[in-house]
Amino acid sequence: MPEQLYDLGGKRVWVAGDRGMVGSAIVRRLASEPCQIVRAPRGEVDLTRQDQTEAWMASARPQAVFLAAAKVGGIHANDTHPAEFLYQNMMIEANIIHAARRFGVEKLLFLGSSCIYPRMATQPITEDALLTGPLEPTNQWYAVAKIAGIKLCQAYRRQYGSDYISAMPTNLYGPGDNFDPVGSHVVPALLLKAHKAKLDRARYIDVWGSGRPLREFLHVDDLADGVVRLMTHYSGEDFVNVGAGYDLTIMELAELVCEVVGFSGAIRYDSSKPDGTPRKLLDVSRMRALGWAPKIDLRTGLKQTYEWFLEHPNEIRIPVHAAS
């Protein structure tokens, strides 16, 4: 078993982005660690602003930081809001990483994304595929910002010896996801479409693109477990992929979602919408060597996410700016 390198015991821990799907899952996971979670007051710290970020960190003095704050969205949101995705994500990560050094953060984990890899990367994608080819155009803005975040962590480690690491998660889903029909990712989008179609007794749902792209999906609670593992058991310049280890076509996903929701109508494919990258399956050997493996299979995870959706009608929101 790999040895523990960082002890969260008694530490002040800040999860930046703790109101988003990923951040709230990390907070849930940290409940079983003997640490103290510090939280920024809701809506009061705009992490795209350096002055506000620094003032917050100067007062909160976190010792460990999970950097899960980001402007996120699905293929359409990315494609149509390039400036927001690039600018806001670069600002958030630069502000937090720089302030972390200034205010003596001992360990920081930055969350990237599997879209950092070249569109035509060899599958499954190993970490060394970074910057070996052109990016997928639909999410290149977000990808470039995330690549900058990885490089910031590496640069601060090299120049200042800061213990900053990065995790690259695959496509995530789970409770707390964004269910906006236009801005969301495919899992919540299809859950919502199938749910509405069931209620309306519609004959079909529309799925974007050809249905042929392959995607890997990881439940956000598995990711949270993985990043806590990295925080405590990993240190190094190399970043680490976090994925489920298998993928399926969007067509197969759509069928599974319809089954979980109980919608028995047809599935139509809208070829006017983009497919995005044909495949992005992560190689998770590094992560597995650290003693982590996902526990939630896709069917179980989709059922649980659908139940969450049914139980939280007021929380179905559009996170256009996941600041603090």
Residues forming the site for ligand GDP (CB under 6 A) = 74-75, 115, 139, 171, 184-186, 189, 207-209, 213, 215, 250, 273-276
16 close to 96: Cβ distance less than 8 angstroms: yes
For the bound state, the minimum distance from the C-beta of residue 275 to ligand GDP, rounded and expressed in Å, comes to 5
Closer by beta carbon to ligand GDP, 8 or else 257:
257
Q: Which amino acid is at 124?
A: P
Burial of 159 (0-12, 13-18, 19+ CB in 10 A): exposed
101 close to 117: Cβ distance less than 8 angstroms: no
Closer by beta carbon to ligand GDP, 102 or else 212:
212
Query: Taking CB positions, which residue lies at the least distance from ligand GDP?
Result: 74
For the bound state, the minimum distance from the C-beta of residue 184 to ligand GDP, rounded and expressed in Å, comes to 6
Give residue 20's region: left, alpha or beta (phi > 0; psi -120 to 50): beta
For the bound state, the minimum distance from the C-beta of residue 79 to ligand GDP, rounded and expressed in Å, comes to 9
Q: Which amino acid is at 192?
A: L
For the bound state, the minimum distance from the C-beta of residue 277 to ligand GDP, rounded and expressed in Å, comes to 6
Burial of 41 (0-12, 13-18, 19+ CB in 10 A): exposed
> Is there a catalytic annotation at residue 142?
yes
* Nearest Cα residue to 96 out of 143, 43, 39, 57: 57
For the bound state, the minimum distance from the C-beta of residue 141 to ligand GDP, rounded and expressed in Å, comes to 12
Beta bridge partners of 279: 214
Q: How far apart are CA 59 and CA 39, in angstroms?
A: 11
Closer by beta carbon to ligand GDP, 99 or else 281:
281
Q: Which helix (H) or strand (E) holds 217?
A: strand 217-219
Q: How far apart are CA 314 and CA 94, in angstroms?
A: 33
For the bound state, the minimum distance from the C-beta of residue 87 to ligand GDP, rounded and expressed in Å, comes to 19
Closer by beta carbon to ligand GDP, 155 or else 251:
251
**Residues 6+ positions from 226 with CB-CB distance below 8 Å:** 167, 169, 242, 287, 292, 294
For the bound state, the minimum distance from the C-beta of residue 106 to ligand GDP, rounded and expressed in Å, comes to 33
Q: For the chain, first and last CA: distance in Å?
A: 35
How far apart, in Å, are the Cα atoms of 121 and each of 1, 78, 135, 201? 31, 20, 9, 42
Residue 173, SS3?
A: strand
Q: Which of 6, 117, 142, 234 is catalytic?
A: 142
Catalytic residues: 142
